[in-house]
């Protein structure tokens, strides 16, 4: 539990967070929904070529929740060896997110593409919210028979009709997603712009494991800096990260007896990171003492904090 979760009266306010996969055929309106939800505030969608299979599509943050939307592109293309591999990786991601948004276009017939995706979603065992988009294009009475058709194919956790373009019913969708989010940390700063959204989340995942495993023996002021993150020739994502603490005693706690704590941090964090990235990961961690790192401008900048 972080300090920001503490209400002014001392009562504990619950902060919820989690990962939500967005799936759907091309053109159903995934990007339009992201823009409507997140707008220009957090332009985290990088134009750089994708280095990992699961891309962060957008991050939605309010005072009491953060939703990290993942794009899982592998799910749509079954016809090659690479496709198979991508599918496996998408499937493992789908089974570990809190909830899946399955977006469809109500002005299009339910087709083979949708059925294919629904079969994959079933295998994941994860709750699926059916999002019927583009309701502005059909008569309201047409919705009920469409819903009935989808219901025959899967027992959806929720069904939410929206118009991503006109912004109709988007709040209801967020409320429905929130029902499935566990209590969790704010992975990503609320109002920052970056080309490296994954690095923020990876750093926060590592930090979260340290706080959890050391049971509050180290202060929340510890920081994690991702020094290197790249895809190696063998397809494994290499991540080198430094954990900054303020005192030698804290260094001892984070490393643990014969490195046991740090090893466990690495193991647990790697599991989450592999789900996030959809790739096998090699994680290397160092612990460094940096007195007063919070007061040093340059370090702050390296850690991704900005004053502007
Ligand atoms: N009428 C209407 N059009 C919509 C709505 N949502 C999206 N569109 C339009 O549908 C088209 C495709 O939308 P995108 O958001 O690019 O779809 P996408 O799913 O991200 O597409 P891919 O990137 O190809 O997967 C665009 O022309 C949008 O303006 C909606 O609610 N109503």
Report whether 291 belongs to an annotated binding site.
no
pLDDT band at 292 (very low <50, low <70, confident <90, very high): low
Give the Å distance between the CA of 164 and the centre of ligand 1. Answer: 8
State residue 82's pLDDT score: 46
Are 237 and 281 in contact, with CB atoms under 8 Å apart? Answer: yes
Report whether 71 belongs to an annotated binding site.
yes
Best-predicted range by mean pLDDT (41-50, 161-170, 206-215, 282-291):
161-170
Report whether 72 belongs to an annotated binding site.
yes
State residue 221's pLDDT score: 66
Ligand 1 surroundings by CB, under 6 angstroms: 24, 26-32, 133-134, 136-137, 163-165
Q: How far apart are CA 102 and CA 133, in angstroms?
A: 10
ipTM above 0.85, yes or no: yes
Tell me the mean pLDDT in the region 117-126. 89
* Burial classification of residue 148, based on how many CB atoms lie within 10 Å of its CB (0-12 exposed, 13-18 middle, 19 or more buried): exposed
Are 67 and 44 in contact, with CB atoms under 8 Å apart? Answer: no
Residue range 96-105, pLDDT digits in tens: 789 999 999 9
Q: Could you give the percent of the chain with pLDDT greater than 70?
A: 74
Report whether 74 belongs to an annotated binding site.
yes
- What does the DSSP 8-state code read for residue 138? S
State residue 117's pLDDT score: 87
Are 163 and 116 in contact, with CB atoms under 8 Å apart? Answer: no
- Answer yes or no: pTM beyond 0.90: no
- Which residues lie below 8 Å from residue 2, measured CB to CB, with a gap of 6+? 15, 185, 186, 220
- Which residues lie below 8 Å from residue 170, measured CB to CB, with a gap of 6+? 33, 36, 37, 162, 164
Are 73 and 55 in contact, with CB atoms under 8 Å apart? Answer: yes
Helices and strands (H, E) in the chain, number of each type: 9, 9
Q: Which two tokens stand for residue 202?
A: 């990876």
Give the Å distance between the CA of 42 and the centre of ligand 1. Answer: 20
State residue 30's pLDDT score: 85
- What does the DSSP 8-state code read for residue 215? T
Are 14 and 5 in contact, with CB atoms under 8 Å apart? Answer: yes
State residue 123's pLDDT score: 87
- What does the DSSP 8-state code read for residue 183? B
Give the Å distance between the CA of 37 and the centre of ligand 1. Answer: 14
Nearest to 65 by CA among 18, 112, 102: 18
Are 128 and 117 in contact, with CB atoms under 8 Å apart? Answer: no
Residue range 169-207, pLDDT digits in tens: 999 999 999 999 999 888 777 665 555 667 878 888 898
Which ligand 1 atom sits closest to the C-alpha of 163? 31
Domains with residue ranges and CATH for the chain: 3-178 (3.40.50.300), 197-302 (3.30.300.20)
State residue 92's pLDDT score: 67
């Amino acid at each position: 539990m972080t300090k920001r979760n503490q209400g002014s009266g001392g009562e504990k306010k619950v902060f919820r967070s989690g990962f939500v996969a967005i799936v759907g055929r091309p053109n159903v309106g995934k990007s339009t929904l992201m823009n409507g939800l997140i707008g220009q505030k957090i332009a985290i969608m990088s134009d750089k070529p994708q280095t990992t299979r699961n891309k962060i599509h957008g991050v939605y943050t309010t005072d009491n929740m953060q939703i990290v939307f993942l794009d899982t592109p592998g799910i749509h293309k079954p016809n090659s060896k690479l496709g198979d591999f991508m599918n496996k990786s998408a499937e493992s991601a789908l089974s570990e997110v809190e909830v899946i948004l399955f977006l469809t276009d109500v002005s299009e017939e339910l087709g083979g593409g949708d059925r294919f995706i629904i079969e994959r979603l079933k295998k994941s065992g994860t709750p699926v919210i059916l999002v019927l988009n583009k309701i502005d294009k059909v008569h309201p009475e047409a919705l009920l028979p469409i819903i009935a058709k989808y219901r025959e194919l899967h027992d959806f956790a929720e069904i939410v009709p929206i118009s991503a373009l006109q912004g109709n019913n988007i709040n209801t969708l967020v409320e429905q997603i929130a029902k499935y989010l566990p209590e969790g940390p704010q992975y990503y700063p609320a109002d920052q712009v970056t080309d490296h959204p994954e690095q923020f989340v990876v750093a926060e995942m590592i930090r979260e494991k340290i706080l959890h495993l050391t049971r509050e023996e180290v202060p929340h002021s510890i920081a994690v800096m991702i020094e290197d993150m790249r895809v190696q020739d063998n397809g494994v994502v290499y991540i080198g990260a430094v954990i900054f603490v303020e005192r030698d005693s804290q260094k001892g706690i984070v490393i643990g007896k014969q490195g046991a704590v740090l090893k466990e941090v690495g193991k647990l964090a790697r599991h989450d990171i592999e789900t996030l990235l959809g790739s096998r990961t090699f994680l290397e961690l160092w612990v460094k003492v940096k007195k007063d790192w919070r007061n040093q401008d340059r370090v702050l900048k390296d850690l991704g904090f900005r004053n502007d």
